[in-house]
Structure 1
Amino acid sequence: MLEITDEDITLAEAKLLPPGCSFDEERRAFIRSLYSCDVIACPGSGKTTALLAKLLILGKKVSFLKGGGICVLTHTNVAINEIKKRLGDEADKLLSYPNFFGTIQSFVDRYLASPCFIKLFNKRLTAIDTEYYLHKLTSECMASRARPWISKQVQGPGYDSPSDLLKKIQLDSSTLTFDLKPIKLANTTTITHIAITHACKKIFESGIISHRQAYNLAKYYLQNHPALDDLFSARFKFVLIDEMQDSYGHQIDILDALFSGPRSVVQKLGDPNQAIFSTPTDSEMEWRPRDGALTFSRSMRFGQNISTVASKVRTLRHIPLLGNDNVNSHKPHIITYNDFCMDCTIQSFGKLIRNLGLDEDASINNKVFKAIGWVGKQKETTCIPHYWQSYTPHKKNIAKFCSFRSYIKSYEGLHCGAHSPKIFQRLLYEGIANLVNRCNTAEGIPFTAHQFKNWLKTNNSELYLQINSTISQWFLEYLLGKSEDKIIDEATVLLDPLIAHCSDKGMALDFISSTTIDDACQQDFACNFVDCISDIQIEVGTVHSAKGETHTATLFLSTFYHKDDIKYITPFLLEKPVQRTMGVRLKSCIKISHVAMSRPTHLFAMACHENNIADYQSEFSDNGWVIVSVESLMT
């Protein structure tokens, strides 16, 4: 019988924890658990380490799984990389068949959407990518008799572009037919409806689909093959889902349909109080932990001064949030500004850091100081650029650029010349994958760079090694001043075996040789760093960009989303009576604020206009806050 013993846990502690440290009873209860359950883990709780310990132990007990495997699902590949990094050689076994480690999207694509598409159309999917799907659909629609109607709609106030309109079209999971009612085309007999429906079917049946359509295919597959849940339960005896709070409703539906039976142990880990990425609407609600959930209530990140504040601003407040007694966190601060000194707020935070001696504290390693807010886009109402005019919102790490040259250029533009061969290689593989998909190869090569690398390694190992070697050489030469033109010339020769299989060789060569530089690849993030006083630099960003990070000190910039953030959360901070049912906006602000408050180890501060707390200053002081003005800090 499968059992996890104290001896197993002790061995895992020796591998994963610093000398002399051990898991507390909350973590040990989770590691030992062999039944389906939910785990609510507070910020900085060491959830990932506890999960790694469990995986390390299960990996050594595979004989008890009777041929079944372990399925670990996440929302990003960060967790997978963490497993590889911290488990070393042990990770090779865990990441091999019959186990699956990957994102929920990659799981659905591989095991449900792709098999369903092959069964329906007797061919492979070409690309699962929303942006690429919309690009192809827009081109098809604008070349059809629907063009006049689409152009007219886009001229109105509701849509910025044709793709902005067309992305609202939905695929029915029961019939796999396209529903145009969301774009107000209910009459199926009109020329426009017929043209757009034809375009949707053409792109879809060609094997180019959006990420959401992959879930539609998955749901259709499950509905028409009800025995699949038994097969998956037999294949995966343990299913561990990390960061469950970031799951969307349609993802939860698929997972519940696959693993609802008693044959699989399903454990979901996350924190509903940090659900800032899932849809905040009542129609598609976020993860709701089941009764009897296990909890990680003590944070290893921050001390009691921060945990006291963060515990008040949560959507679920019945679970304790305890601080780390070994971390000396300062009292929380409110930095107030007036109409004339708002743009000095972040610099004043630097002065506060210096006054408290955080920048010179030798006991703190890897000091990180950040200023983060909710609204990053430029608006008339309060937003991050009002605090720091040079702020530039982060775009996706890698977009689908319009030319191969743009991927080379983005190494400096998006990554500030990070002197990282890994980043350089990743960018160029993204460019090659984009090339492969643009020219629509007959082999059905997977669309993502990661999938393409795996395909190439399996099907043409010689070319795979040659590309890797050449990219490494390009990196060194690029640092020494080699021009993009020379790299482009060599890339044309290097990638010729791929181009030879393209159905449109002209398009492939145009993509490689194009001199066009995509604007999106020339972003300089140096403008998001504020040099305050000597040796103190503060990075500026959104709360979303800081999710999962640990800072030494965090400044939460109050912004405006229908109301100032500070006005949303003041009743919670001062423990005043609040409405029992939270609206969508209030709930969103509470979660954003909680994520911001739980980033720092030593200092949390919030910046707001002095008028917004004028009536509550004494109450804030009575609740342990230190209120200080920008002007007093800067003098």
Structure 2
Amino acid sequence: MPQEINISDEEIQYAERLLLPVGKTFDDERKVFIRNFNTIDLQAVPGSGKTTALLAKLIILESKLPFAEGSGILVLSHTNAAIDEIKEKIQKYCPRLFSYPNFIGTIQSFVDEFLAVPFYVQKFNKKPIRIDHEIYNEKIKNCIEKPWLYKLGFDKDITDKVAYIKNNNEGLFYNYRFQYSTETQLVKKLNGDVLEVSKPRGRTRTENYRDYTPQEKQSVYNWFLRFKIGILQSGILHYDDAYFLADVYLNKIPSVKTILQTRFSFVFVDEMQDMDTHQYNLLEKVFYDDGNSISKIQRIGDKNQAIYNSFVKANDNWVDRPEVLRLNGSQRLSKHIANVVKKFALYSDETFDIVGKNECEIKPHILVFENETIGNIIACFAQIVKEKGLGNSEKPIKAVCWNTEWKEDETSRNDAAKLRLEDYHKGFAKDKGKPKQDYDNLKSYLLYYEQKQTLEPIRKNILNAFLKILRLENINTTDDRPYTKKKLIDFIHEKDVQKYDELNLNIYNWSIEIVREKTNEVWEEIKTYIPTLLAIFDKTVSISSNFINDDNAEISVENAEILAPTNHYKADGFEIEITSVHAVKGQTHCATLYLESYFQQDGRGTNAKSYESQRLKDQFLGTQIQSTVGDRVKQSAKMAYVGFSRPTDLLCIAIHKDRFNALQNTISTDIWEIITV
């Protein structure tokens, strides 16, 4: 059992001095949470300082480590950014908290380290090489583009069927996963149903089409199962595979659960609403254990902000504990903004409220536009920011939208009745400034990298490109594992110091030239250098030739301005970033412009509903939304709740005149200020 923890006023005051501005203190709501060490949920409204309250609790707990029974503390969040924020703010004050037996990390890192990797080692007598969805997809692609069909020992008839599926539905090879109940089975990634392999129609006429028989489907299914097992055994895992292995581990060796509970007396899960179903279920199984756990687990977040995935789920996993604490006071929101935002909260029982504590008297604005004036909305917003004296704020000013691009749907893109972010800001490009780790060609590595004040991100990308070339050429370490950047550098240093020095000098010079926007020249120089690199391994360019020479970069040369992100509108002395609602979740702005966007269509004619102002009409008019509304209304409400709750001072919402007319006669000007664009 965890030891009893008592927290004094002096300890809270110590945390206040470290975390809060001079003269500020924790209010009673936060003190109740800081002193509570039961298994509870903390539901906290936007801007309530929930993470700061958690940090205060951790700072105080650090002084009580190690616990008498040798146990520690587990702190989990969903993203590396959230964990980095925790480390940045308190690691210097809490050295013991960041060492054994404690663990602070993402849910993925926890599952990898404590469950998936140990079970994999036990099962296959080796560590997995990589747990990464991009490398996993690369492995699949590499396998299905080679003469791989006959390697699994199936009859030619079965392999011919698999080849036909590959030619007509290659995506299937990437979009299924393991699932474990009493035995391992394959399920579709998107809906979780058991994988049933149907014969693709191809160009077959409907009257001539014959699906595979149940026996044939089972045989093809068996091929996919063996193929997936082969990828797993090779050591390349998708993130989802880690959860599968964790699930099997816990089912086959139940004592693992007890060991983890004994190791971690207190478990704190921040941003709980962002956990996917499989993550939620795993945490419940291990640390709640149907109420029988010896660990005390506290889940912290806001169910009303559950929009982590690009597809916003209408229904949530998170079921409240018997004991729920609330933080209803928002340090971020003014009373005017808070009174609007709370009407969009799907989860609002008798204990729920949003109390705006930020002293600002600017009412939320509705900007009414027409087709002809859509291009003026952001400029109008900028003018209001200037008039309200907010242009010099240290906090950012942003324009946000739920749905951003139409991708390849030219019909929708050219339909004036269907609006997305790119229609409001023609230069918008969703992926600008958001580098990936893996690309399909060398040139993309040189064009698309993280923007920092050092050359390190460019160096990292060049080395990552070299690693991909080695993987494509099947060049591995002596223990038959793919090279890492460190292992590559160390190998070249050990083999030939002169070539090591040459490589370092080259990378430095290439990085400088890329900053000078001489990307094409660098690309040509690297192509010339690659045979020298491969010669160190007694290899020549072969399979990687297309990767090296492909000029179809994911970010075109004409758009090399991504070196300075362009999704911005520049006004008088300040900038407005143009981005998605998902991208600003958790942020605090000075001013936010919310641009409503098209999302599906419910109903027809004058009753059709596709935009936030249509589905949430009653909330704009001041009625509290109910949790019994339809799924699309729930999705719209979550996006509005998150988007509307970012600003401290100014909230503006852009609504088309045709849709505003349905609100005009009954909307309260005591709550809203109406501006015609």
Q: 5+ residue gaps in structure 1? A: 631-635
Moved more, 566-575 or 402-411: 402-411
1:172 maps to amino acid: Q
1:557 maps to amino acid: L
- Give 1:484 shift: 2.5
For 1:89 and 1:435, how far apart are their aligned partners in 2?
40
1:357-506 maps to which residues of 2 (within 5 A)? Answer: 357-360=389-392, 364=393, 366-378=394-406, 379-380=412-413, 381-394=418-431, 396-411=434-449, 415=450, 418-421=452-455, 423-424=457-458, 427-428=461-462, 430-431=464-465, 434=468, 439=474, 441=476, 475=511, 478-479=514-515, 484-485=522-523, 488=526, 500=537
1:343 maps to amino acid: G
- Give 1:49 shift: 1.6
Residue 97 to residue 323, structure 1, CA distance change in 2 (3 Å):
same
Count residues in correspondence. Answer: 607
Partner of 1:288: 319
Partner of 1:554: 592
Partner of 1:633: none
> Are 2:40 and 2:322, in contact at CA under 8 Å, matched by a contact in 1?
no
Moved more, 189-198 or 126-135: 189-198
2:195 maps to amino acid: P
Percentage of pairs with the same residue:
29
For 2:528 and 2:96, how far apart are their aligned partners in 1?
38
1:215 maps to amino acid: Y
- Give 1:192 shift: 3.8
Provide, for residues 526-578 of structure 1, a one-character-per-residue CA deviation record: whole Å limited to 9, x for no partner.
Answer: 442123x4324322111011111221111111111121111112212213486
For 1:528 and 1:389, how far apart are their aligned partners in 2?
10
- Give 1:253 shift: 0.9
Moved more, 104-113 or 260-269: 260-269
Partner of 1:263: 294
Partner of 2:40: 37
For 2:442 and 2:95, how far apart are their aligned partners in 1?
34
Partner of 1:176: 184
Partner of 2:569: 530
1:331-350 maps to which residues of 2 (within 5 A)? Answer: 331-350=363-382
Residue 189 to residue 238, structure 1, CA distance change in 2 (3 Å):
same
For 1:419 and 1:124, how far apart are their aligned partners in 2?
36
Residue 320 to residue 87, structure 1, CA distance change in 2 (3 Å):
same
> Are 2:404 and 2:430, in contact at CA under 8 Å, matched by a contact in 1?
yes
Partner of 1:592: 639
2:354 to 311, 321, 331: 321
For 1:493 and 1:95, how far apart are their aligned partners in 2?
44
For 1:367 and 1:577, how far apart are their aligned partners in 2?
30
- Give 1:178 shift: 2.9
- Give 1:63 shift: 2.8
For 1:405 and 1:314, how far apart are their aligned partners in 2?
46
- Give 1:454 shift: 8.7
For 1:577 and 1:19, how far apart are their aligned partners in 2?
37
Residue 192 to residue 607, structure 1, CA distance change in 2 (3 Å):
same
Residue 94 to residue 63, structure 1, CA distance change in 2 (3 Å):
closer
**DSSP 3-state at the match of 2:74:** strand
- Give 1:436 shift: 6.6
For 1:460 and 1:45, how far apart are their aligned partners in 2?
52
Provide, for residues 126-178 of structure 1, a one-character-per-residue CA deviation record: whole Å limited to 9, x for no partner.
Answer: 2222233234334434653778757866888xxxx612x33332312132343
Q: Does 1:575 align with 2:622?
A: yes
- Give 1:354 shift: 2.1
1:109-258 maps to which residues of 2 (within 5 A)? Answer: 109-141=112-144, 143=147, 144=149, 162-163=170-171, 165-174=172-181, 175-179=183-187, 181-185=194-198, 187=214, 189-190=216-217, 192-258=220-286
> Are 1:2 and 1:64, in contact at CA under 8 Å, matched by a contact in 2?
no
1:238 maps to amino acid: F
What TM-score results when the alignment is normalised by the length of structure 1?
0.85
- Give 1:227 shift: 0.7
Residue 60 to residue 538, structure 1, CA distance change in 2 (3 Å):
same
For 2:75 and 2:611, how far apart are their aligned partners in 1?
39
For 2:6 and 2:486, how far apart are their aligned partners in 1?
36
- Give 1:267 shift: 1.0
> Are 2:342 and 2:624, in contact at CA under 8 Å, matched by a contact in 1?
no
**DSSP 3-state at the match of 1:302:** strand
For 1:97 and 1:496, how far apart are their aligned partners in 2?
42
For 2:73 and 2:388, how far apart are their aligned partners in 1?
48
For 1:469 and 1:113, how far apart are their aligned partners in 2?
40
- Give 1:399 shift: 3.8
Residue 247 to residue 543, structure 1, CA distance change in 2 (3 Å):
same
Moved more, 560-569 or 419-428: 419-428
For 1:101 and 1:505, how far apart are their aligned partners in 2?
44
Once superposed, what is the RMSD of the aligned Cα atoms?
Answer: 3.7
For 2:67 and 2:616, how far apart are their aligned partners in 1?
50
> Are 1:410 and 1:521, in contact at CA under 8 Å, matched by a contact in 2?
no
For 2:88 and 2:624, how far apart are their aligned partners in 1?
47
> Are 2:179 and 2:187, in contact at CA under 8 Å, matched by a contact in 1?
yes
Higher Rg: 2
1:356 maps to amino acid: K
1:528 maps to amino acid: N
> Are 2:592 and 2:646, in contact at CA under 8 Å, matched by a contact in 1?
yes
Provide, for residues 427-458 of structure 1, a one-character-per-residue CA deviation record: whole Å limited to 9, x for no partner.
Answer: 456546656765473577999x9xx5798999
- Give 1:615 shift: 3.0
For 2:254 and 2:115, how far apart are their aligned partners in 1?
13
2:674 maps to amino acid: I
